[in-house]
Copies of this chain bind each other. A is one copy, B any other.
């Protein structure tokens, strides 16, 4: 990252600030939204907000680490010698990726035993995927990067299988006006995740310098906002549609609808 330009530095800087603002705002949106869903979906909304809250915290740290790594004055950029901490992303994912799969399971309103078994399996697979990816991210040889990256793909593919084959029966059993959204939510998860291995292996084929850093950092940022905030809005819409009958029953009993 020695050859980064002021323009590239600024773009990444503004992308980090944008992500912080978006994720912090999304957190409050989800937590306020708790009052607009039926009791059985409140935990899903709480966790949806936890995911964006944890991510907002890490983007704040990432922003500060980025600011500390370079000095930009009088239109020129110099490295300060303080390393940009790449580990923040992995620490974030280790917490947020299992949780966002749990959100999806919770909002589906499955039986208690199916909820526990699916949420546990998907959560552990997601954590394993992140843990296996990290040694490759910080590896100094391409061989190690390919090895750990490939190992990390095993739980990744297993998660894809669970979401598209394992869950297909449960999705078919969702109420009609929520079914399409639940299915879309799976595509948003897997679609936004597709970006991560592209960036990961870009490092293994020798892509480097300021342009590469820009693609990596801005790309991860867009993927994180999609997988956490956009995905969370889908979870909220699903929960809200599935709560219509609950609030209608309260109103017909003369109760306040919230």
Contact = CB atoms under 8 A, between A and B. Distances in A.
Contacts of A158: none
A52 B82 CA distance: 31
Given A17-B91, A32-B42, A39-B258, 15 more contacts: A14-B88, A14-B91, A21-B92, A21-B95, A25-B53, A25-B95, A28-B46, A33-B43, A34-B35, A36-B43, A39-B247, A39-B257, A42-B258, A72-B83, A73-B82
Interface stretch (A54-62, A146-154, A164-172, A208-216): A54-62
Most buried by B among A47, A73, A74, A256: A256
Copies in the complex: 2
Contacts of A50: 25, 28-29
The 9 A-B pairs at the shortest CB distance, nearest first, are namely: A253-B254, A73-B81, A74-B81, A39-B257, A14-B87, A25-B50, A18-B91, A32-B46, A21-B54
Contacts of A39: 36, 247, 257-258
A31 B31 contact: no
A114 interface: no
A244 B74 CA distance: 58
Interface of A: 10, 13-14, 17-18, 20-22, 24-25, 28-29, 31-36, 38-39, 42-43, 46-47, 49-50, 53-54, 57-58, 61, 72-75, 80-83, 85, 87-88, 91-92, 94-95, 247, 250, 253-258
19 contacts: A14-B87, A14-B91, A17-B61, A18-B95, A21-B58, A22-B95, A25-B95, A28-B31, A28-B53, A29-B50, A34-B35, A38-B257, A39-B257, A39-B258, A72-B82, A250-B254, A253-B255, A254-B254, A254-B255
Contacts of A256: 250, 255-256
